Structure 1
């Protein structure tokens, strides 16, 4: 006769249960303590751990008036088709604020009945968005990557999202199987000439909807932090006027793509200015403001999901 073995609960099991009772069951911390047979202080710590470990995703159903006003102002200023502004979280990572709003926008697109090709960039904001997406069945859509997924050491790029979101929404996906940035232009061109890569690139260029992060070119540039460029390369591009990047492609303060630096070796598909379909930027934070403004100015992006503080700063410039 078989028997089901039950392992002892782990600290994360306890945190998940406490988080469920608090956020879904509506229990107070005293009630959770009584339910689980623990102290109130431990119940409080477990609820906090559930949130800190990402076991709980919170979405705000009420649209705050100040955020709505900022959305309207951004739409008017930049002619945006889609705009969402989330309440800021003080000194916390702004990705935590914008990820639920970005996930809601992606879910809205995935629930559309007509088959669409959805192109995705990479990065922390996109990873946050995908982690916040609720599982659903969107098998009639196609997901395609705009950017290579191979890091300089040959490993998969940590912030690549295409396979993660595909698993969640059961949609076919088309990864860009090239380095994010090749060592030489000749190597980049050789990758581009491969038949499967050409087909994925063509699919990305014709995408019906685009979701991208917006990277800054300051000292905390994602391209530098993630090892895709050296300090010397970053300094060279900044000397040439680099202000930001989208899908690895670097542009100046007017949103014009540069012909120097890593742009001569970038492997993915460039998001062109003034697309006639949604190109939604997902970004927030003080250091990203110049890059976001440049991308909005040239209409590399024609939609934006950001937070209150970033929105106010953009509008004040």
Structure 2
């Protein structure tokens, strides 16, 4: 069976080949009657447009790149799902770039946009892998781009964020309201914006409660489960153990809870644990994990919608979209032990 082409569709629908191409690329530019006839012919013949050939003619790849430090992370999985859905609606394919926290990998994925293999980029790391000239406007030097989760320090870039500092403060305030005054913090990766902001919220809540910041209660983690286990073990070796622990990610909170059970501590009767993110496993834990919920799907959806607007040639007025977080109280936090 011979392959169906645009000329076949044109003959079947009684229009020119140019009109068929216009209908498939920009259906809003042709009349309703023409659009109906062309699309009927396409359906009847099973014609499949050659996207590669179209990309050569339009200089568009039909791809967008998503750059993330760890695509296996549950937080990122929720965001990716929403990005994929929005991209599909807009006619784009998603290329996932797992950087594994390596800047050379970030540069590699950024180069895909520069070389025309992708039309835009979503960046979930705090680094901007593009070189900027000081004497030119930023918007003229960058491809369609949106930054999220780990904020890039540039006010001219489109961003979708939550208030990590306020979220950290809310987590600690919840523990303070339960009567806790000896509250530990298990941080995320060193010097990342989300870590620094959540730490600032932790310190703000304690300072407002007239509680001195104890550096011994602040432990470095990396957002992964194993670092939560290791951090909790360090805290349990302290002479004055905390009565509550704020982990800067749910994965670390789950690790901390496993460590507590390993050493026969009760949650929350002996030590309360609160996380950050509200990943799917949070509600499956025993006890169920109290946490700060990030609107993961909304983050992904807004990122892709903001990118699509730029891909259309628009420049949205709102540079930064701030999405709300939510304190989700479950069973892993309780009153301070007597």
> Please, what TM-score do these two structures have when normalized by structure 2?
0.29
- Structure number with greater Rg is 2
> Please, what TM-score do these two structures have when normalized by structure 1?
0.31
